[in-house]
């Protein structure tokens, strides 16, 4: 099912599968800020990555002397969430562990995605609760894809990312879906990274040391764009499918396995440990203009 929330500035729509954001649309302008989800390039819009981010080495991990298998980015994006609450300006989705999830991920959990509209801003809050009597290990992150160009005005190369704090960015290369120690440093043009399709031909730019907590997607043709704000996400990914007209801005609490990882979940880089009965949350926001 599709659900919508709306105020005088923007309208946002979602589906219960993956609690996935599908559209962000300007009420007056009709501008669609989110990628159109063309399956010829990439058929998703804004999946949630849980309980892992990226790929596991050999698609497996070890925990308490047992071996488990999880697909890249985990299972939440392909599961049906319950709509716990909906109002004009807010919607709350909930996912709980099942017998099937416990076979591949031996932790009880409650995962909530809370979307809220405030003026021209949509916020997405991840709320994770541990209802068990043992510690819970997890990673979580966002993968929203924004349209470039907007309204078919201009071309992909008219668009750029403006960082609020970084003058250079250093990203890790991806080898067979895993994080390598090889890095490339890009010197930004007055804190701006101009988009080219070729930039992403070798996969995402995975950044471990980003200083910025805000990135704006803007263009040289008009004043339309978005500001994307994120706090306390230690990793950040930037990605687009080959020759597709979108850019993913991905705040992560967690990261794919490294090439030399020992495959022990407790030793996984960026893994979060949540105490019994503990609660955890992070929020990203997108403001449209």
pLDDT of 1: 85
Residue 79 has pLDDT above 90, yes or no: yes
Per-residue model confidence (pLDDT) at position 153? 83
pLDDT at 117 over 90: yes
Distance from C-alpha of 2 to C-alpha of 211, rounded to nearest angstrom: 36
Summarize the confidence of residues 205-228 as an average pLDDT. 96
User: Is residue 261's pLDDT more than 90?
Assistant: yes
The pLDDT value recorded for residue 279 is: 98
pLDDT reading at 192 higher than 90: yes
**Per-residue confidence (pLDDT) for residue 55, from 0 to 100:** 98
Long-range contacts from 117-120, C-beta under 8 angstroms, 24+ separation: 117/5, 117/6, 117/7, 117/9, 117/10, 117/12, 117/89, 117/90, 118/89, 119/7, 119/9, 120/9, 120/10, 120/287, 120/288, 120/289
Averaged over 86-100, what is the pLDDT? Answer: 98
Instruction: Tell me what the mean pLDDT of segment 249-257 comes to.
Output: 98
Name the residue ranges covered by the structural domains of the chain: 2-288
How many residues are recorded in the chain?
A: 289
The structural architecture, per CATH, of the domain 2-288 is: Distorted Sandwich (2.70)
Average pLDDT, the chain: 97
How much is the pLDDT for 111? Answer: 99
Q: What is the pLDDT of residues 40-65, one digit of tens each?
A: 999 999 999 999 999 999 999 999 99
Q: Which of 150, 129, 122, 149 is nearest to 46 (CA)?
A: 122
Q: How confident is the model at residue 184 (pLDDT cuts 50, 70, 90)?
A: very high
Q: So what's the pLDDT on residue 152?
A: 83
**Mean pLDDT within 166-177:** 97
């Amino acid at each position: 099912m599709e659900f919508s929330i709306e105020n005088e500035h923007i309208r946002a729509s979602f589906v219960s599968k993956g609690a996935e954001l599908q559209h962000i649309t300007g009420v007056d302008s009709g501008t669609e800020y989110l990628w159109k989800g063309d399956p010829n390039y990439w058929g998703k819009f804004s999946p949630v990555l849980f309980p892992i981010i990226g790929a596991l080495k050999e698609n497996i991990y070890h925990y308490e002397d047992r071996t488990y298998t999880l697909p890249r980015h985990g299972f939440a994006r392909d599961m049906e969430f319950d709509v716990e609450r909906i109002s004009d300006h807010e919607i709350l989705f909930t996912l709980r562990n099942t017998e099937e999830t416990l076979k591949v991920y031996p932790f009880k959990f409650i995962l909530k995605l809370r979307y809220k509209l405030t003026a021209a801003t949509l916020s997405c809050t991840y709320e994770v609760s541990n209802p068990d009597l043992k510690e819970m290990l997890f990673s979580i992150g966002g993968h929203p894809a924004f349209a470039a160009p907007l309204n078919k005005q201009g071309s992909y190369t008219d668009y750029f990312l403006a960082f609020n704090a970084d003058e250079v960015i250093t990203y890790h290369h991806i080898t067979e879906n895993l994080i390598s120690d090889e890095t490339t440093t890009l010197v930004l043009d007055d804190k701006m990274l101009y988009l080219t399709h070729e930039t992403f031909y070798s996969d995402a730019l995975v950044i471990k040391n980003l200083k910025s907590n805000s990135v704006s997607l803007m263009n040289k043709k008009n004043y339309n764009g978005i500001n994307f704000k994120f706090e306390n996400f230690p990793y950040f990914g930037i990605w687009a499918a080959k020759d597709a007209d979108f850019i993913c801005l991905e705040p992560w609490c967690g990261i794919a396995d490294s090439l030399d990882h020992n495959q022990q979940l407790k030793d996984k880089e960026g893994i979060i440990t949540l105490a019994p009965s503990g609660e955890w949350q992070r929020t990203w926001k997108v403001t449209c203009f």
